[in-house]
Amino acid sequence: MTAAGADAVRWVAVADATELRDTAYRRVAETAARAVERRGRFLVVLAGGRTPRDLYRMLRAADTDWSRWHVYFGDERCLPADDPERNSRQAADDWLAHVPIPADQVHVMPAEQGADEAAEAYAGVLRGVGDFDLVLLGLGEDGQSGCARGVRRAQTTAATRDDERGAARSRARSAVSRRRRIETQRRGAVARR
């Protein structure tokens, strides 16, 4: 992909939430299949919040080699590990606990340690990972995305404190800066970057 192509944005309009979910599901499955065929593994960064939850539930039925998937998180709420508001907990409940991805290939942020500590620890997890095959971003009702604002491109993680519920969030910036493809979901549209 050329530098110009990497920055191109293409919007795909969909009729409703069902078509959004189906389109996102197809794109994830196709991207995973290509990555496994070309590189032997699929590196995906998950979005948090409510936006991707229907997609995650749908992914339970995907016909894929789950042993090739490596799952990372783009951001996490700094709450206890079992808190239902944690992005990792929602992804597990909706999808990850229902498929045979090896546990050591699901890389959860230790956000219960606090934003600064979690960001530092996750930077170590991300060191040497390389480019992600797919980054999923959701655009919430408040217009917020998992992208950390004001983070230098060279940083792999950042501690931010801008959650609308007042909870600190630790975010993995490398998921955005080192990627092959980004899918942003918003009701009525899927953007590819």
Q: Does domain 3-192 have CATH number 3.40.50.1820?
A: no
Q: What are the pLDDT digits (tens) for 51-94? A: 889 999 999 999 999 999 999 998 888 889 999 999 999 999 99
d(CA 43, CA 135) in angstroms, rounded, equals 9
Residue 127 tokens, joined: 């060191």
> Is a pLDDT exceeding 50 seen at residue 175?
no
Neighbours of 53 (CB within 10 A): 18
Q: Which has more pLDDT, 149 or 186?
A: 186
Question: Residue ranges per domain, the chain?
Answer: 3-192
Residue 125 tokens, joined: 């997890």
pLDDT band with cut points at 50, 70 and 90 for residue 20: confident
